């Protein structure tokens, strides 16, 4: 006989089966044993999360009542959400829970509390390196956020922090210029000459300009 099919009331001796308190206790034991059996089934699958199909993952998330589970997410995301669900449940309403769902769904994430940036009490900011968090996935994130944050906590901003590598060049320029003045009848001609020397790669550029001014 399977544990899920056991009815304790049928195992009671006749003199106990007539007692209301004993019958109630037996019914309670039946409920507890069925819950335990359901948990045992989950435990047998817990170490096989990486082998479960999407349908099995969806069923497991339903059995675990993971309120922030998205059935449309990629399969690897589903596995991460289920794998970390116990820790999130244990810390619902804390920055840890918020940071964990960001990490599970969008990559790395960090929560800055109001006192860390001079904000209002009970406010916070979210930092991530995934631009999708504020683009096509914004509605999803806000929906997930409502299931794990404190009701008294308010989101001030989502900051996307990107890093990269670039080359920086430093150089030096020396400019010399002079002016020649020539009088031609009633016209005055100003001639300007200049030279620019770039120390970077020793590039030399010579520039000559002239301005004609009339009285």
State the pLDDT at residue 44. 59
State the residue for tokens 């968090």: 133
CB 82 within 8 A of CB 69: yes
Most confident of the following: 22-31, 32-41, 188-197: 22-31
Q: Is residue 163 scored above 80 in pLDDT? A: no
Q: What digits encode the pLDDT tens for the residues 35-65?
A: 666 665 555 567 788 888 899 899 889 988 9
pLDDT tens digit string along 98-156? 999 999 998 888 899 999 999 999 999 998 888 877 778 888 889 999 999 999 999 99
Sign of CA dihedral 164, 169, 170, 174: negative
Q: Once rounded to an integer, what is the mean pLDDT over residues 169-185?
A: 53
Residue percentage of the chain with pLDDT more than 90 = 33
192 CB-side CA count, 13 A: 11
**Average pLDDT value over all residues in the chain:** 75
Identify the residue with better confidence: 198 or 91: 91
Q: What is the mean pLDDT of residues 78-98?
A: 93
CATH number of the domain at 173-214, out of 3.40.1350, 2.10.70, 1.10.357, 2.40.128? 2.10.70
**pLDDT (tens digit, 9 = 90+) per residue, 77-86?**
999 999 999 9
- Among 10-19, 45-54, 64-73, which range has the highest average pLDDT? 64-73
Copy the structure tokens of residue 7: 């009815």
At residue 8, the pLDDT reads 65
Q: What is the pTM of this model?
A: 0.56
Task: Give residue 164's pLDDT band: very low, low, confident or very high (50, 70, 90).
Answer: low
Give the whole-angstrom CA distance, residue 97 versus residue 145: 9
The pLDDT of 174-195, averaged and rounded, is 49
pLDDT of 38: 61
What is the model's pLDDT at position 49? Answer: 87
11-25, 50-64, 193-207, range with greatest mean pLDDT: 50-64
Task: Give yes or no for residue 13 having a pLDDT over 50.
Answer: yes
pLDDT at position 209 is 38
Q: Are 195 and 162 in contact (CB under 8 A)?
A: no
In whole angstroms, how far apart are CA 165 and each of 85, 107, 162?
36, 20, 11
Q: What are phi and psi of 173, to 5 degrees?
A: -125, 140
For the chain, domain boundaries? 3-43, 50-160, 173-214
> Which of 97, 98, 156, 147 is closest to 123 using CA atoms?
156
């Amino acid at each position: 006989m399977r544990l899920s099919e056991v009815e304790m009331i049928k195992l009671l001796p006749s003199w106990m089966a007539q007692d209301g308190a004993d019958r109630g206790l037996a019914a309670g034991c039946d409920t507890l044993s069925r819950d335990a059996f359901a948990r045992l089934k989950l435990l047998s699958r817990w170490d096989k999360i990486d082998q479960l199909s999407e349908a099995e993952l969806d069923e497991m998330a339903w059995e675990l009542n993971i309120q922030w589970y998205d059935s449309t997410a990629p399969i690897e995301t589903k596995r991460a959400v289920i794998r970390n669900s116990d820790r999130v449940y244990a810390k619902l309403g804390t920055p840890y829970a918020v940071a964990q769902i960001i990490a599970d769904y969008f990559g790395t994430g960090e929560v800055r509390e109001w006192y860390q940036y001079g904000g209002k009490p009970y406010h916070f900011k979210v930092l991530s390196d995934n631009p999708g968090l504020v683009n096509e996935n914004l509605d999803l994130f806000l929906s997930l956020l409502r299931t794990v944050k404190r009701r008294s906590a308010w989101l001030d901003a989502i900051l996307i922090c990107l890093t990269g590598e670039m080359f920086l060049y430093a150089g030096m320029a020396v400019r010399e210029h002079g002016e020649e003045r020539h009088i031609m009848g009633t016209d005055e001609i100003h001639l300007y000459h200049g030279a620019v020397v770039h120390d970077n790669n020793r590039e030399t550029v010579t520039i000559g300009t002239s301005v004609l001014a009339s009285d």
